[in-house]
Amino acid sequence: MSIQTVVTDANIRINLIHAQALELLGRLDGYAFVIVDQVEEEITRSEHLSKRPSCGARSTGPGCAARR
């Protein structure tokens, strides 16, 4: 099965973080979700840190996604 790469913006990530549902991205088979540096900077701002999963923005583990 081929893997589709999906580049997500900060809005999607922030909404999922606040809904405590970021791990849903890791459950979608066949997709690799990535972010660019600017998105990582935005989602790691202090107002989002308290809701961010412990995996951090750079992790590729379950519920997380790779950074490009």
pTM above 0.75, yes or no: no
Which residue type occupies 58?
A: R
Task: Return the domain boundaries, the chain.
Answer: 4-67
The whole-angstrom separation of Cα 6 and Cα 4 is 6
pLDDT digits (tens, 9 = 90+) for 22-62: 999 999 999 999 999 999 888 887 566 665 555 544 444 44
The whole-angstrom separation of Cα 31 and Cα 13 is 15
Which residue type occupies 57?
A: A
- Which tokens belong to 39? 């998105």
